[in-house]
């Protein structure tokens, strides 16, 4: 899984039928300090993540291992909202403390 920040949303009316009802969130990867860096990706959201939140997302076939994404042409899913992470014993990100 990768750490990313929810930076926006994508609207797509015309889409593969099975994707109806899924929310597309725009994510940008973050570095170990929580700063945006690296690429952006669009992921389906199954945990109710909102803009500005730090999340974990899974890609590939693993992105289909949820009830909402099963058997759908979806290759990225937000599967967790991050509370905090630490590196070498130091808290590097804590939700609400940015």
Write down the least CB distance from residue 20 to its own copies, Å. Answer: 10
Give the helix/strand (H/E) hosting 38.
strand 36-45
Nearer to its own copies, 13 or 97 (CB): 13
| One character per residue 55-74, x = contact with its own copies (rule: CB under 8 A) | -x-xxxxxxxxx--x-xxxx
Residue 14 binds to its own copies (criterion: CB under 8 A): yes
Residue 84 binds to its own copies (criterion: CB under 8 A): yes
Question: Residue 80's Cα: distance from chain center in Å?
Answer: 8
Helix, strand or coil for residue 23? coil
Residue 98 binds to its own copies (criterion: CB under 8 A): no
Report d(CA 53, CA 50) in Å as an integer: 6
Taking the CB of residue 51, how many other CB atoms lie within 10 A of it? 11
Residue 23 binds to its own copies (criterion: CB under 8 A): no
């Amino acid at each position: 899984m990768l750490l990313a920040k929810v930076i926006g949303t994508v609207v797509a009316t015309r889409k593969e039928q099975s994707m109806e009802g899924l929310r597309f969130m725009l994510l940008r990867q973050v570095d170990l300090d929580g700063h945006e860096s690296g690429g952006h990706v669009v992921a389906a959201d199954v945990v109710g993540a909102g803009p500005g939140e730090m999340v974990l997302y899974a890609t590939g076939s693993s992105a289909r291992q949820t009830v909402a994404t099963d058997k759908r042409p979806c290759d990225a899913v937000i599967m967790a909202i991050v509370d905090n992470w630490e590196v070498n014993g130091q808290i590097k990100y804590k939700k609400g403390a940015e």
